[in-house]
Structure 1
């Protein structure tokens, strides 16, 4: 009987070890899906910059706006379109623990790199937000910050992404 209990306990421990995803897998699940309302099949690709997750932290700085906007192929849209952002509401952070999305912030970075501008984002439903593209033609870089569980970046999990688009006629 003791041998059977030991075997069952060993199997449980072995299988439960695989139930905890790595930090990279957890952070990967926070990658937002960013699309245009006019063409939902067109995805705007975000790039991760920094994060704080399960005690692991990185501070990767995003490129200067001039470098980003001049070298990256941006998704084009017109000035009447809207951008939709979908983010996973819950991410597993342990065997029996999950972190829930607390808030997001979206900032637009002008080409000069000065004075980040807060963008008004409208919540459509759980996990989906929307904002209007700028009315002026040009290239725009955005920084999206996702905060999971916690009141600030120090005591919660967070991930930051940047992405861009070009408003055309």
Structure 2
């Protein structure tokens, strides 16, 4: 059974997980608007290794919006994402478009409970861990869940789509 969230923590992501009966945990922290990286801020604030915390990014691949979920310590490999979804090329989506299509604010985009279901690719490194953390649908809120459950609830493909920061 899904873990109940604290009052005020309900977001489309947590509601979707509860409705699906997926077990998850809720982790809140005080978001710093001056943070250079929302994902690294979350990892540090929650005391987690960056390879366990994943960021949700939107890209446009041959005119189609797609979601890439990668560890916060790395970058989305746009060529690998394009190849995975059968596109010739991909570019990062405009942040305003990402917010409008997902229903979440940038820095709080969850891969779960988006307004429109988009093709999603999860970096395969997530499968090395018993639990991973993704945005819960607002800045300062992350959810922890099994990567297999993340794949199930989002319909994600898994592939090598991240690259190290240089």
* Structure of larger gyration radius: 1
Which one has the bigger helix percentage? 2
Normalising by the residue count of structure 1, what TM-score does the alignment of the two structures yield? 0.30
Which one has the bigger strand percentage? 1
